[in-house]
Chains A and B, each alone.
Chain A
Amino acid sequence: MFKKLASYLALAVTYVKLNFLSQLEYRGAFLSQVVAMFVNDSVWVVFWVLFFTRFPALRGWNVSDVITIWALAASGFGLAHGICGNALQLASLIARGQLDVWMLYPRALLSHLLVGRMSATAWGDALFGYVVYLVMVRPDCPHLLLFVLLSLSTAVLFVGFSVLSGSLSFYLGNSEGVTEQWNFSLITFSTYPATLFEGWVKLLLFTLIPAGFVSYLPVEALRQLSLPHAAAALGGSVMVLVAGVSVFYHGLGRYESGNLMEMRG
């Protein structure tokens, strides 16, 4: 079991290295995308700083808490798609019958497929997440350690959710539009304080759009340095991942080959 896990980790590390080197072939484009994403995320922090300058608290949450949300969402999303760059492409890969090439390898299909590509802009998100947390929140050692763990938990959630939403293509044909909107909804809700929402919307944030595991439980864990909140966040992320993997392999039975001639460089 551990040997198998170590083998897949080594595979993931090798893919990350290779993908990184291939991105560096277009160094200018790669760097400009990373910088642009960093600037993109910074604009939102500027918005929140301006907002809290005018209105100092939002249901007990202050600017630090909202920056923590952004830091967690960005670092989690960045790690998820920087490493598993194919997760966001899953719907189109399935719809176009492009899984065939990945089925030929002697590796578990999903984990191998996910690490096969890297999103360049995702590294801008990841970099932003850690830098903004260190510079603007200025955590002590325990908070920083917990933040790193929670960013990994958030990354697990984003990968699991992308797999879940992308797997809809097995059932709906081409689900790219629905998948994209569902992912957008998760990202959007993940970057606003969950305390803004009540009733059925709050329920939605822990089920259909599991943004509560990004924007509520991890932030509460960091605010109170609370391990139960952190464990609940991690538990939620693992559940989303398990749901995504289950739906993917269930849907795989309905997959139809595209008969595409494809080469991987």
Chain B
Amino acid sequence: MSSWQKYPWIALVAARSNLAYWGDVASRFIFLGVVLYIFLRLWQVTYAQMGAAELGGFTLAQMLWYLVITESITLSGPRVAQAVDEDVRTGVLSVQLVRPMSYPLFRLSTTMGERLVRFVMNLLVGSVVALVFVGPIKLEGAGCLIFLLSVPAAFILDFLTNFSIGLGAFWLEDTSGLLLIYSRLTMILGGMLLPLELFPDWLQPVLKALPFSSVIYGPAHLLVHPDWSAWADLAIRQLSFILVLSLFVAFLYRTALKRVFSNGG
């Protein structure tokens, strides 16, 4: 097996092991259902009160479908930072280093495998909720395609940030605070709770330029408002952030490895 072939297999094993725990998968569906129902009511009341068919360019149905995607992306995220943090603190990392594979790529493969399963499941459950309460929206083949093209890059970008936070365990007493702050910034600045069109006009270009929106808002917006030029713009931003963050992770990882001490026995 060549050095690269093992990583898709690692992703496959991670995906299959994730499917084995149905209880855990089902319990996440309850939370997703509750959140989507609350958002549905919030926006139903808001649209009715404003007497508007569209808000920020979204109809009520589009708004709920947008939220289905943003919630599916957010809730599909595996606990990468916690896993890396634990590997560092417990010394498991030194065992991983002995294995004939790159530790960051091993974590990336595991994350992508797990996340793909969770994302698809969340999407299915979210779609059922949306279909029941607001019905379908007009989807084009091209829209679905560019949406699907934008999702893997969003996951990689999110992984790189989480991995960097996990590596922080080499220097910090506790990384959970940093992780919580990152996830909340992604929620609000990434457009998970509100489409960026509903933010003040002066803030929208700033938020669109930040990496958070490339993880959540970008893909979700493409499904609801498909546009090839918007996809090209998003893809350039996603790839640029991935490049910069990859370089940062490589630097951080090399620096961190110098701090690894292991005693055999």
Interface residues of chain A, those whose CB is within 8 Å of chain B, are: 26, 28-29, 32-33, 35-37, 39-40, 43, 46-47, 50-51, 53-55, 57-59, 177-178, 180-181, 184-185, 188-189, 192, 196-197, 201
Contact = CB atoms under 8 A, between A and B. Distances in A.
A80 B140 CA distance: 50
Interface of A is mostly: helix
Interface of B is mostly: helix
A18 B173 CA distance: 21
Interface residues of B, number: 31
Contacts of B50: 55
Contact of A197 (B23, B41, B193): B41
Nearest to A42: B184
Contacts, number: 84
Interface of B: 23-24, 27, 30-31, 34-35, 38, 41-42, 45-46, 49-50, 172-174, 176-178, 180-181, 184-185, 187-188, 193-194, 198-200
A184 B23 contact: no
Contact of A181 (B30, B46, B193, B199): B30
Contact of B42 (A57, A184, A196): A196
23 contacts: A26-B174, A28-B174, A32-B178, A33-B174, A33-B177, A36-B181, A43-B185, A46-B188, A47-B188, A47-B193, A50-B199, A58-B46, A59-B45, A177-B23, A181-B27, A184-B31, A185-B31, A188-B34, A188-B35, A189-B34, A196-B38, A196-B41, A196-B45
B42 to A, nearest CB: 6
A154 to B, nearest CB: 19
Nearest to B199: A50
A143 B50 CA distance: 31
